[in-house]
Structure 1
């Protein structure tokens, strides 16, 4: 296992701990830290292991941040339905 995959796994564990607790703001305040740490780690994983492993790590990170991802995708989805 490469160091980048170990860092991605550690980030996944650390990001999932606060995601299990209830939040009134749909986890936005708790999401900024994992997002800020996850992007460089994702780039590192892609650099060392290739784009396919990077996609797997990206989807794993998105599953931990499910509420922020839903809100970010809500805008483009509404525009697509309107035909804009």
Structure 2
């Protein structure tokens, strides 16, 4: 297993542990930090292991951080209706 996949697994484990801890802001601050760490990590995984592994890690990250993705999709739909 490459270093990038090990780091991605650690990111996923940390994301799940952080999701179990109660929060006053509904976990949004943690989601921002996980996103900021996950995007470069996704690029590293894709660079080191290829696009299929990058896609797999992207889908895993989207399943963990599904609410930011849902809100992004809603925002994009609103933008499409305006234009």
Fold shared by both chains (TM-score > 0.5): yes
The normalised TM-score by structure 2 is 0.83
**Contact 1:27–1:67 at 8 Å: present in 2 too?**
no
CA separation of 1:74/1:25 partners in 2, compared to 1, >3 Å: closer, same or farther? farther
- Which runs of 5 or more residues in structure 1 are unaligned? none
Provide, for residues 30-75 of structure 1, a one-character-per-residue CA deviation record: whole Å limited to 9, x for no partner.
1011111111111110111001110100010111101111111111
Deviation at 1:29, TM superposition (A): 1.2
Deviation at 1:19, TM superposition (A): 2.1
CA separation of 1:69/1:23 partners in 2, compared to 1, >3 Å: closer, same or farther? farther
Task: Give the match for residue 34 of structure 2.
Answer: 34
The normalised TM-score by structure 1 is 0.83
CA distance in 2 between counterparts of 1:83 and 1:33 reads 31
Task: Give the match for residue 73 of structure 2.
Answer: 73
Question: For this pair of structures, how many residues does the alignment match?
Answer: 83
Query: Which deviates more from structure 2 when the two are superposed, residues 14-23 or residues 64-73?
Result: 14-23
